[in-house]
């Protein structure tokens, strides 16, 4: 089990990758972000996207899938997140792209009010198959502290 005390500021983690499919882009857009450039090749061609593009929120969901699978596999004592800061969609994500997710721990601090908890912040960068950054954000993660023996 990985506890708060095991978190090292400056450490980088490669969380994994995700292949973006046309079917998922269309399904997500139909359900959650039905803007024409997420639903139609013809409509997208008339925009700065140039072709069908994934919703930024879909990109966030794909990234969360990668991170969550990694965290579960690593058996971390995480307790979720109170939020993210500075979310930036830098470049469009297209069907056929492969997203690569990495994170760097930027700081950590024990809770002042709950001695069994701590939190840390991770700067996450998502790149495509050409190593071009497409998304960045800073997440705040709550984590249990190692129990006293």
Q: Measured between alpha carbons, how far is 125 from 13 in angstroms, rounded to an integer? A: 11
All structural domains of the chain: 4-144 (3.10.129.10)
Sequential pLDDT tens for the chain (149 residues): 999 999 999 999 999 999 999 999 999 999 999 999 999 999 999 999 999 999 999 999 999 999 999 998 988 898 999 999 999 999 999 999 999 999 999 999 999 999 999 999 999 999 999 999 999 999 999 999 999 87
Q: Which residue has the tokens 């950054």?
A: 133
- Which residues fall within 8 angstroms of residue 7, CB to CB, at 6 or more apart? 105, 108, 118, 120, 143
**CA–CA separation, 143 and 77 (whole Å):** 6
Q: Are 113 and 119 in contact (CB under 8 A)?
A: no
* Alpha-carbon 148 to chain mean position: 32
User: pLDDT value at position 42?
Assistant: 94
Token reading at 126: 């998502």
| Cβ neighbourhood burial of 33 (10 Å; 0-12, 13-18, 19+) | middle
Per-residue model confidence (pLDDT) at position 74: 86
pLDDT for 148 equals: 81
| The two structure tokens encoding residue 66 | 């990668």
Q: Which of 22, 20, 15, 21 is nearest to 100 (CA)?
A: 15
Residue 75 pLDDT: 86
> Which tokens is 122 given?
């991770």
pLDDT score of 29: 98
Can you give the pLDDT at residue 5? 95
DSSP assignments along 64-83, one per residue = HHHHHHHHHHHTB-B---SE
């Amino acid at each position: 089990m990985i506890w708060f005390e095991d978190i090292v500021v400056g450490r980088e983690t490669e969380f994994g990758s995700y292949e973006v499919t046309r079917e998922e882009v269309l399904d997500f857009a139909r359900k959650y972000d039905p803007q024409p450039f997420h639903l139609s090749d013809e409509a997208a061609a008339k925009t700065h996207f140039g072709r069908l593009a994934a919703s930024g929120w879909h990109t966030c969901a794909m990234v969360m899938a990668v991170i969550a699978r990694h965290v579960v596999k690593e058996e971390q004592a995480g307790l979720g997140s109170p939020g993210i800061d500075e979310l930036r969609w830098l470049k469009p994500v297209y069907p056929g792209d492969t997203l690569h997710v990495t994170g760097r721990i930027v700081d950590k601090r024990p809770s002042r009010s709950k001695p069994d908890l701590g939190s840390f912040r991770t700067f996450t960068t998502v790149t495509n198959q050409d190593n071009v950054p497409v998304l960045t954000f800073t997440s705040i993660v709550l984590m249990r502290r190692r129990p006293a023996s």
